[in-house]
Amino acid sequence: MSVNGETKEVTVTAGAYAKSVEIWSPDGYVKLDDNYFDMEKGSRTVKLLEGEGKALKARSVYDIR
């Protein structure tokens, strides 16, 4: 996952289909234009609307055990 502070964009990359991808911040509040989504293999970029993108995390249903 990469975060561009100037454009306020967050890019998530997956090597295969990812179900229910969640982007969240353990350090506090963050608001994205879409923080729960399914994605095909490749990249998806979302806008950071509020908060700071310093320590964002991403996970999908695959990560929940």
pLDDT at 3: 63
Give the number of domains in the chain: 1
Does residue 11 contact residue 44 with C-beta atoms inside 8 Å? yes
pLDDT at 35: 84
Residue 53 structural domain:
2-63
| pLDDT tens digit sequence for 7-65 | 888 899 898 999 999 998 888 888 999 989 999 999 999 999 998 878 888 888 888 76
Q: How many other C-beta atoms are found inside a 10 Å radius of the C-beta of residue 49?
A: 11
pTM of the model: 0.81
